[in-house]
Structure 1
């Protein structure tokens, strides 16, 4: 380590920091992993993001299932006991926290886990708890924070973002207003509606899930409407008149007032840049983000960013992708550039909306010719039996001179869609022809058979052309005289 105290210093122990430090420790490097408190270990995903939100969705699904069962004679009444709901969520967090605690990480990976406020105090120097640490490489995995509404009267309102929601909310809202139209907003709107809250969703855009296909978003919107969520598009909060009343605009015009008991905001996130000493280390910031190149390097080439600090894919698995590419660069003379070819994301509503690979916008920007295949689930046997016929599969396929084309990307809307797209994502990642699925035998009637349906339909169209049929007839007659 020459004159350094460590081989690597990682600031932030969320998804990005745990991955970066854990791999370094696993290969025997002396790694310092720093975060503010012991409960901050695990980061946003464990404490206020993926884990608690999915636990909440799981509980809400139990309520939805019970209500569905009233069709068959079950009698139910009442709302959720929110105290018990939150107790369940914290139990689930504690189970996972055992393997993300400082003690566990030190024991399992040999990391030096430090609890304290870290600040960059030099180009390769970090100060924490009055102690100066140095390393040839420093990784910033310092995460992001939720955006809040900044309108007149906002200071009088408690804005429950995903962090405050799981740490401060102690009662089931009577009327929850959710501001936003992305995955987090849709998940929270559906969950609280299922638990028994009245829910109004205010979306400034023209539709939900702007990063997913319109047809997919429309399926989810119809489900939310059917469950009683009041969805208002082109609608924004212009101001608050008191702690429980918002004045709205729709399409820029005054829409009137809306009363509520609680307000949840899901309108994006800011990269954390303050209080880190970035300027002392020569790390520059622009437009609220840490300037980082395609190889995860900041303006100080000894300092890198991963996870939300990178300012791009703000998902836990985005941090995993960043670390995979960054560690390739740290261990190899050939740098690996950040690419989004094989990325995917899931909105964990019911039904789930799962998107993978390249979007139409990305394909057009790259000048890639493609065709769109849209497959309804209306007549899929599993969808008929399990009552999700409104689902849809959308695929983007290349246009080769011969063959069926490669899977470039797509979206599936169905229960467990995030699990069902994995073979399509693998085809995409391995650059295999879509017709590889044509002769696969699925256990009947698994839901993922829908992935094969368009492939078989296309193969049948080729097989049943006029000249192909004549050739097959001749082959049969010659073989079976």
Structure 2
């Protein structure tokens, strides 16, 4: 056996790298974890993604709540003090960063944490800070970077993205233009509108949230418009005249100009590959992505990718799933193949849009028969009391010849939807009958009672059929003569 310096080398200390290295260290392996700077430890999620964006949304929700209270007599006015907002965000990051720093990881998990530029220099070799490290297995958790607009005049404009927004933006925009219509674009739009900015969204598609059902996206779009966000579909920037004026096209037709104070782009991400020395290790790319199979192996079978570097679902919990699969494969002779049957994602707007399990596209591709149930919140007591009657629950249920239906997937739009779908996701993951919710006793009036409503409706429909009613009448009269 070769004489290696480490059992495992992990490049990148974001969500993917922390999971890969942390488990290795926890079971007593000698693991090297490498990232460029101390601040890069924690990765995208801590520094530029989940943590700061959710802190921003939390602050924005305070402003929204205060404005809603005006109907009950509270008088409020003004905009956010953006420096105070950013101070709060950075304070939240610092709390979490304490448990993701090199010193903490080294002490807690016994990791060999190295700060420096890592480069693959052989099939089992990494060079960093002039030192040569080797291991039988290497994991690339090198993340991704935001895509930017590449239209004429783009070099004249400061294009803020989720990274620069939380490190370079130092004032509340007067008019923020956001290019994109996905989750990140929607969250940014609502947050800055609530803080006091004028906000315009330019979306090249025909609706928001392409990966969620159209009915769910429509609920969120209606809320954003009600709050004053201007949304323009089928619209793109043709070119920039200067740092604050864009020429627009709508379905290919010139649509005039749009003046803005700040521009944010949320048009997707691309895997980081530059400067890693991939070819020196026999790791190849295609169309900007690292070629990786369904078992997380690159073209060098001893080098793996997880997290955004895998080039598929770019979520922090996606990295968690990748690592669960990867470590199963590293420790077991039976490899686990990547698949998304039990995955979920949440857009953390108000209301939240939470999707889980299999989508209609996946079900159709697999040839799975299913039925779609749409449950409105219009008459849900908690929704009536808390004023979110526009919410919706969409479920995809199996169509068995006998027995109760299974939950195959679905989407909910409601405040706290990301929390409320969890029992539905568990039913799906454990392959349990949806009917098991029928007799569950929920504390009244918790919001998650909505999960039970379609199950009870289905049970009642069966119970109140003509012949069932006759049988129940006979049973009652027999027992109560």
For residues 295 and 269 of structure 2, the distance between their equivalents in structure 1, rounded to whole angstroms, comes to 22
Find the counterpart in structure 1 of residue 228 from structure 2: 228
Kindly report structure 1 stretches of 4+ aligned residues shifted beyond 2 Å.
none
Find the counterpart in structure 1 of residue 218 from structure 2: 218
Q: Is 1:293 the equivalent of 2:293?
A: yes
For residues 406 and 252 of structure 1, the distance between their equivalents in structure 2, rounded to whole angstroms, comes to 45
| TM-score scaled by length of structure 1 | 1.00
For residues 139 and 480 of structure 1, the distance between their equivalents in structure 2, rounded to whole angstroms, comes to 71
For residues 336 and 270 of structure 1, the distance between their equivalents in structure 2, rounded to whole angstroms, comes to 26
Find the counterpart in structure 1 of residue 358 from structure 2: 358
Find the counterpart in structure 1 of residue 164 from structure 2: 164
Find the counterpart in structure 2 of residue 412 from structure 1: 412
5 Å-filtered alignment, 1:48-447, equals: 48-447=48-447
How many residues are matched? 481
Cα deviation digits, residues 105-131 of structure 1 (max 9, x gap): 000000000000000000000000000
Find the counterpart in structure 2 of residue 35 from structure 1: 35
Cα deviation digits, residues 416-448 of structure 1 (max 9, x gap): 000000000000000011101000000000000
Secondary structure of the corresponding residue to residue 283 of structure 1: coil
Deviation at 1:404, TM superposition (A): 2.8
Cα deviation digits, residues 343-373 of structure 1 (max 9, x gap): 0000000000000000001100110010000
Cα deviation digits, residues 196-226 of structure 1 (max 9, x gap): 0000000000000000000000000000000
For residues 381 and 113 of structure 2, the distance between their equivalents in structure 1, rounded to whole angstroms, comes to 52
Find the counterpart in structure 1 of residue 461 from structure 2: 461
Secondary structure of the corresponding residue to residue 54 of structure 1: helix
Find the counterpart in structure 1 of residue 18 from structure 2: 18
For residues 147 and 409 of structure 1, the distance between their equivalents in structure 2, rounded to whole angstroms, comes to 30
For residues 130 and 121 of structure 1, the distance between their equivalents in structure 2, rounded to whole angstroms, comes to 12
Cα deviation digits, residues 79-117 of structure 1 (max 9, x gap): 000000000000000000000000000000000000000
For residues 13 and 476 of structure 1, the distance between their equivalents in structure 2, rounded to whole angstroms, comes to 66
For residues 102 and 427 of structure 1, the distance between their equivalents in structure 2, rounded to whole angstroms, comes to 39
For residues 301 and 348 of structure 2, the distance between their equivalents in structure 1, rounded to whole angstroms, comes to 38
Deviation at 1:480, TM superposition (A): 1.1
Deviation at 1:2, TM superposition (A): 4.5
Cα deviation digits, residues 312-361 of structure 1 (max 9, x gap): 01000000000000000000000000010000000000000000000001
Deviation at 1:402, TM superposition (A): 1.7
Secondary structure of the corresponding residue to residue 106 of structure 1: helix
For residues 326 and 77 of structure 1, the distance between their equivalents in structure 2, rounded to whole angstroms, comes to 52
Secondary structure of the corresponding residue to residue 85 of structure 1: helix
Secondary structure of the corresponding residue to residue 39 of structure 1: coil
Deviation at 1:455, TM superposition (A): 0.2
For residues 162 and 464 of structure 1, the distance between their equivalents in structure 2, rounded to whole angstroms, comes to 54
For residues 216 and 457 of structure 1, the distance between their equivalents in structure 2, rounded to whole angstroms, comes to 22
Deviation at 1:77, TM superposition (A): 1.0
Secondary structure of the corresponding residue to residue 189 of structure 1: helix
Cα deviation digits, residues 131-175 of structure 1 (max 9, x gap): 000000000000000000000000010000000000000000000
For residues 386 and 142 of structure 1, the distance between their equivalents in structure 2, rounded to whole angstroms, comes to 43
For residues 2 and 200 of structure 1, the distance between their equivalents in structure 2, rounded to whole angstroms, comes to 59
For residues 2 and 233 of structure 2, the distance between their equivalents in structure 1, rounded to whole angstroms, comes to 59
Deviation at 1:403, TM superposition (A): 2.4
For residues 413 and 403 of structure 1, the distance between their equivalents in structure 2, rounded to whole angstroms, comes to 29
Secondary structure of the corresponding residue to residue 439 of structure 2: coil
